[in-house]
Structure 1
Amino acid sequence: MTSTVLPNVTAVAIDGRALLIEGPSGSGKTSLALALIDRGAMLIGDDAVTLVNDGGQLVAAPPPNTRGKIEVRNVGIVEMPAMEAPVAIILTLDHDAERYPLELGFRELEGVAIPLLRFAPGDAVQAIRAEYALLKHGLGFPSPTQTA
């Protein structure tokens, strides 16, 4: 089993599937994560995520040095429960994201192809849109016959 730490990525778990949020510093990764946590998501990692290929399934886990910590801008470091989950989708925060994407991108991480969606940051309903992105485009749970 190999692992990689992915910097500048914040991740949350929604119904047991990991949603990775990437973008430059100040783009709203943590703000989106906090909005999703407020709606019931669980923190995986803030500004870094450990990725492990576990038998062909990519699992996101909190880095040991920041496990359970999230930086809330203008507030400071806040502690909360953290978990790990299989990666289902990557949202790339991008102000120029297409309003209606015709094609879904993919990125290979640790040998696993993960759906990638350019995602407009910063409006009031972005957490709800992120949940719909996961439902519509995210990888499903592996079937019992696919497990190693």
Structure 2
Amino acid sequence: MMLLHASSIAREGDAVLLLGPPGSGKSDLVLRLLHSGWSLVADDQVALRAEAGELRPAAPPALAGLLEVRGLGLFGPLPTALSPVLRLVARLLPRAEIPRLPEPESWSAAGVSLPAIRLHPFDAAAPARLGLALDAALGRIPCRAGAFA
């Protein structure tokens, strides 16, 4: 098992790992995704376990169901996604570090390689972009040029 300073969110059993330093917008993006129908997996720390060639994110027991909302406090327990499969990694970065048409990237752990994207979490369209990226990573929507081409 690997413990990461990250957050994770899931939609219909498919999870996304949000990577970024403290204050980069992980919890803010999780909050907006929750209001778009996604489910919380973990906030602030994510425990990853490899299982049958897949990575499964979860919250450490002490943080299960908890979400930190800057300026308001710690909320929960909230309903969480149980045993989702990690499908995509989003590196949260300043807008200036997001290329217009990126080259495909990947992220690996425990011998499992996953597609990775760069995302500015504070953009109004960040939740929609993340959903589109997850659909592309799952092969549901073709990408002609960019991160999944």
TM-score normalised to structure 1 length: 0.87
Residue 99 of structure 1, CA deviation: 1.8
Give the structure with the larger strand fraction. 1
- Match for 1:85: what amino acid? P
Asked if the contact 1:89/1:115 (under 8 Å) is kept, the reply is yes
- Match for 1:132: what amino acid? L
How many residues matched? 136
Q: Distance in 2 between matches of 1:128 and 1:91?
A: 13
Match of 2:61 in 1: 64
**Identity of aligned pairs, percent?**
33
TM-score normalised to structure 2 length: 0.86
What aligned pairs does 1:63-142 form with structure 2 within 5 A after superposition? Answer: 63-79=60-76, 80-83=78-81, 84-95=83-94, 96-101=97-102, 103-138=103-138
1:81-127 per-residue CA deviation (whole Å, 9 max, x = no partner) reads: 122310000000112111221x2211111110011111122111111
Q: Please, which runs of 5 or more residues in structure 1 have no aligned partner?
A: 141-148
Residue 71 of structure 1, CA deviation: 0.3
State the SS of the aligned residue for 1:74.
coil
Moved over 3 A (4+): none
Asked if the contact 1:88/1:114 (under 8 Å) is kept, the reply is yes
Match of 1:6 in 2: 4
Q: Distance in 2 between matches of 1:87 and 1:36?
A: 16
Asked if the contact 1:50/1:62 (under 8 Å) is kept, the reply is yes
Match of 1:54 in 2: 51
Residue 138 of structure 1, CA deviation: 4.5
Asked if the contact 1:114/1:139 (under 8 Å) is kept, the reply is no
- Match for 2:100: what amino acid? R
